[in-house]
Structure 1
């Protein structure tokens, strides 16, 4: 599958994300109306790092 078709498919499957192909790199930008939703999306992308973020945020409270 070529990059253009792959990009269209990924954009279709993940409508809440802005996904681009820039200078040979794949880029994804996401947004959420609240912090919990954002952390949920980040956890899907990198579970370990999201877990660390939640832990650090809990310490701040």
Structure 2
């Protein structure tokens, strides 16, 4: 799970950076959408870790 969380959280930054360098603007938007998906994936991993007792509040 740690490896998945690291990959998903790093993917956010990578996609934002890649989208920033793209033209036209619509491509940037698409990469931001992908980054948003990675954010929700990271959030989901955190919720699962909390539910399973791997972490505490």
**Into which bin does the TM-score normalised by the smaller protein fall?**
0.3 to 0.5
Q: Which of 1 and 2 has greater Rg?
A: 1
Flag the structure with more relative contact order, 1 or 2, with Cα contacts below 8 A and sequence separation at least 6. Answer: 2
When you count strand as a share of all residues, which structure comes out higher?
A: 1
TM-score, scaled relative to structure 1: 0.32
